[in-house]
Structure 1
Amino acid sequence: MVTSETGPEHKGHEIEPDPRGPSTPECREAISQLYFFLDGELTDERRHKLQAHLDHCGSCLEAFEFEAELRMVIAERARDRVPTSLRERLAMVLLEESAKDRHVSDARQE
C-alpha cells in the first residue's frame, strides 16, 4: 500500500498499487504524459484525466512521485552560485557596453 504525500490531491490517502502494473494502455499513456504534467503543459482536460488516473493507480503515482522528487533535487543541486567578483566584472562590462551604445547613438543623431 502506498501513502501519497506529494501527488496531486492525494495527501494522506492510501492507494493500492495497480496489480496490472504500468503495462496497461492507460498506464503507458499516463507515464508518457508525466513530464508534460509536471511542466504544466497539459490542457485542463488532459491534466484532469491524468490526475484521475493517478488517484487510482498506485504504480503510476509512484512514478509521478519519483519524477517530482527527482526534479526538486536536481533543481536544488543545479543552482550555481556566481562568485561576487565575476558578477561585478559582468556588471562593469554591461555598463561599458551600454555607454558605448549611447555614444554611438548620440553620434548618429548629430
Structure 2
Amino acid sequence: MSQSTPPLSSQAEIFAYTEVEAASIATLAKGSRDFLHASHPETRRRDLERALKKSVALELHGCTLAEYYRLKRIPRGLRVHLRPTIFSQNLEYCKKFEGILNKCSYQAP
C-alpha cells in the first residue's frame, strides 16, 4: 500500500466568508446589544457611593451654614486674611485695606 503524496502548493488553503455572507450571518443575531455599553457593577457601585457621599457633604454644609447664620457668626472660610501687594509698606493704607475687608465680612446680608 503506497500512498501518493498530495502536490505541494505555494499557498495554504484559507477558509473565509465573503463580505456578503458575513453580513447575512450577522443579521441573524437577535437580541439587545445594550450589554456592550453597560458599565461594570463595581463601577456603578463606586459612582453611587460617590454621589451619596457628595449628597451627605452638601447637606452637612447646608446645616453648618444655617447654624452659623442662626448664631450670627462668620464661617471660618470667610474670615479673609488678605494683605495688599501694592503699598504693603504703607501702614495707613494697610489698616484701611483691612478695615474694608472687615466691613465686608461683618455686614449682615
Bin the TM-score by the shorter chain: under 0.3
Higher relative contact order (CA 8 A, sep 6+): 1
- State TM-score, norm by structure 1: 0.25
- State TM-score, norm by structure 2: 0.26
Of Structure 1 and Structure 2, the greater helix share is in: 1
In our comparison, the structure showing a higher alpha carbon Rg is: 2
